[in-house]
Amino acid sequence: MGMIKDGQMEKQDYYDILKINKGANASEIKKAYRKKALKYHPDKNPEDKSAEEKFKQAAEAYEVLSDPDKKAKYDQFGHQAFEGGAGGFGGGMNMDDIFSQFGDIFGGAFGGGFSGFGGARQRVIKGSNLRIRVRLTLEDIANGVEKKIKVKRKIIAPGTTYKTCTTCNGAGQVTRITNTILGRMQTSAPCNTCGGAGQIIDKKPLEADAQGLIVSDEVVTIKIPAGVVDGMQLKVSGKGNAAPGNGIPGDLLVAIQELDHETLQREGDNLHYDLYVSVPDAILGISKEIDTVTGKVRIKIEAGVQSGKILRLRGKGIPSINGYGKGDLLVHVNVWTPKTLNKEQKEFFEAMRDDEHFEPKPESTDKSFFEKVKDMFS
């Protein structure tokens, strides 16, 4: 116990609490804390306030001494370094905090069934999840969409009532005490009678199942954000199957299936469009109407365009699911070469075979195939 100083209880030295010296390393500090925690663990010492206090003191000491920065401050200034709560616990330990921060220190010796102080906590049962698949067009994905889907989900049947489970007295779990080398250990497990719900059927209609549930049709509204991808799974909380008694419903898991588009192909947030132009149009230039996910747009094809040229329409792709702008629409120009010609056409091109205007003369600005591919991903 600490000493009385100026009318207040003086805090005990952290090194004395864990029975270690100031030169102890991290492994020795952890080992010492584990030893104290096991000795004064609340499951081993039910209703023992003295053990509870020592358990809290050990946790507070470990919280400071296991942190190199806090340990250095404590070594220099003592408890005054953490007056006003700066040390992490501020003069009062919360049992939930101890187990959330240091639960792994026990290495599973107490299982997952620590009941806390003041009695066991009631487990909350969650209903099972439902899974559906939603098919979306590229336009749906680009703009976001709201879908109304009819699902079959289990609900508590009208007229069903529940009562407290007599096996676990509503806790949803039962306590078992076993003897180990560390002494008598108290562990908890779900109640077999109520399945962990803490309640059992009191009355139920004939059409309900053993848990008092029936299958019901419900129309669920699903808001699908722009930018989702094929195979992505969205969650609609609370729209799965209900749980019996005071449990909470499961979730509705929505798998996204992207439908193929007739003219557009998706690659991440970018879209690709293959535009075919005739030889005369490529030579003379032309205005063409093409598809986008927001409707049709008209683009200008410059005279003398080369096959393989890529036109980038910025912001005409798919919005990023993370909200980082939109992708682009990449228009791939393909000059269509006719496979059959009539006599006059053949004579014309024969005459043009040696014409200097028809002789390939790539310019320095004309990019190679590999440069075009690089531009696609830039």
SS3 of residue 368 by DSSP: coil
Beta carbons of 197 and 246 less than 8 angstroms apart: yes
pLDDT at 274: 96
Same fold, 4-106 and 264-376: no
Beta carbons of 44 and 183 less than 8 angstroms apart: yes
What class has domain 4-106?
mainly alpha
Give strand pairing partners of 220: 149
- The candidate with the shortest Cα–Cα distance to 238, out of 256, 253, 223, is 253
Average pLDDT, the chain: 82
Beta carbons of 188 and 111 less than 8 angstroms apart: yes
- Positive or negative, the CA dihedral 138, 139, 140, 143 is positive
What DSSP state is assigned to residue 120? P
- The side-by-side arrangement of strands in the sheet containing 329-336 is 264-267, 270-278, 329-336, 310-313
CATH architecture group of domain 130-258: Sandwich (2.60)
Least confident interval from 37-46, 94-103, 303-312: 94-103
**pLDDT tens, residue by residue, 201-248:** 999 999 999 889 999 999 999 999 999 999 999 999 999 999 988 889
Least confident interval from 82-96, 104-118, 251-265, 318-332: 104-118
For 264-376, CATH gives 2.60.260.20
Q: Show me where the domains of the chain are located.
A: 4-106, 130-258, 264-376
